[in-house]
Structure 1
Amino acid sequence: MSLIRTLSGKHFDFLNIDPESICIEDIAASLSNICRFTGHLDHFYSVAQHSVMTSYLVPPQLAMEALLHDAAEAYCNDISSPLKALLPDYQAILGRVEAAIIQKFGLPEAKSREVKYADLVMLATERRDFDLEDGPVFTQLEGIEPSPMMISPLMPRQAQVLFLQRYQNLKGEQHGY
């Protein structure tokens, strides 16, 4: 079987991805329950909160792209980068899910330079705030300064609400409400 049932009751089929099976409420719920760094933190810190914070580090016209930059993880989970690099089949599936999300939400086909940079700023900020600086040097973080904002981890439900509020605010801005 190649499908999962989402919180909203939709069926998401990895072999036949229908953008109509994707909804923002499922993305928010799932990302709010997925812990960054494969859970290797002293406190729970969700991908949803990471995404919301990332969306504030880019120009307003790129905020929706930044908010949804990890949305595919709602369906594929968050796999650490070192492991992800070893899983080409996973990467291919993730790419198809990302393409469906891009289509569903009208996002650019390629991640913008600014969103990629903001994601790295968040990684540097997370490494600082969660005291993860004792490991190997992350070469991709050379020259990247952490954000001045401090991360205060939210509970999953709080992160879910924050994610949905940010989405609704950005959606309203895009449509001029």
Structure 2
Amino acid sequence: MSWITTNSSKHFDFINPTADMVSIDDIACALSNICRFTGHLDNFYSVAQHSVIASEIVPAKFALEALLHDASEAYCNDISAPLKALLPDYRNIEDRVDQVIREKYSLPHPAMSPAVKYADLVMLATERRDFYLDDGTPWPMLEGIEPLQFIIIPLNPMQARVRFIQRFKQLQEGAPA
């Protein structure tokens, strides 16, 4: 079996993913229930909330891409970057899923826009500060990256899910970011 059943009862096939298998409601549900940093936080903080904030800090033309930059994790789950680097087969599957999502929502592909990559690093720097992940060990990818000027207050999964869907609808309707 190479598929999972999603919250909306769709079958998502990892071998042959298609756009009709992807649902924004499934993405919101899953990302709101996945904790950042593989759960190694004192308080639950979801990938959905991370994505909403990322979408709010990029220039408006990149907001939808930022909101969906981790959408493949809704199907593949969130694996820490150090472990992911050791799993090339996983990376290939995640890339395939990401491409289907990018095509469905008319996002740039094959790679993430530089503005979204930068916002993801700003988020990482902010999360490192706000969730007490800074033990003095250098994180080279954050050299020169300043955290946001506000503190992230974690939402519960349902709140994050609602915010994610609201943000998606706002961006689909072309409302001001």
Give the TM-score range, shorter chain: over 0.9
Report the AA paired with residue 143 of structure 2.
E
For residues 95 and 16 of structure 2, the distance between their equivalents in structure 1, rounded to whole angstroms, comes to 13
Aligned AA (1:27) = I
User: Alignment partner of 1:173: what SS?
Assistant: coil
Distance 1:3 1:135, change over 3 A: farther
Alignment pair present for 1:130 and 2:151: no
Q: Per the alignment, in what secondary structure is the counterpart of residue 56 of structure 1?
A: helix
The secondary structure found in structure 1 opposite 2:4 is strand
Shift of residue 129, structure 1, vs aligned partner: 0.3
Q: SS in structure 1 opposite 2:115? A: helix
The gaps in structure 1 that reach 5 residues or longer are none
Letter in 2 for 1:85: A
Q: Which residue number corresponds to residue 139 of structure 1?
A: 140
* TM, length-normalised to structure 1: 0.97
Distance between the aligned counterparts of 2:79 and 2:149, measured in 1?
A: 27
Corresponding letter in the other structure for 1:77: N
Q: 1:81 to 1:135 in 2, by over 3 A?
A: farther
Q: Runs ≥4 in structure 1, deviation > 3 angstroms?
A: none
1:48 corresponding residue in structure 2 = 48
Q: What are the equivalent positions in structure 2 for 1:89-108 lying under 5 Å apart? A: 89-108=89-108
Instruction: Encode CA deviations 1:88-139: one digit per residue, 9 max, x unaligned.
Output: 0000000000000011101000211110000000000000001110052110
Instruction: Give the equivalent residue in structure 1 for 2:76.
Output: 76
Superposition RMSD on alpha carbons, in Å?
1.1
SS at match of 1:114: helix
Gaps of 5+ in 2: none
Structure 1 segment 152-167 matched on structure 2, within 5 A: 152-167=153-168
Q: Following the alignment from structure 1 to structure 2, what is the Cα–Cα distance between the partners of residues 57 and 74? A: 22
Cα distance in 1 for partners of 2:136, 2:146 equals: 17
Between 103-112 and 31-40, the greater mean CA deviation after superposition = 103-112
Structure 2 counterpart of 1:39, which letter?
A: G
Count residues in correspondence.
175
Letter in 1 for 2:137: P
How far apart in 1 are the matches of 2:67 and 2:57?
10
Q: Which residue of 2 aligns with 1:66?
A: 66
Q: Percent identity?
A: 62
Match of 1:149 in 2: 150
Residue 5 (structure 1) aligns with: 5
In 2, the alpha carbon distance for the partners of 1:127 and 1:70 equals 18
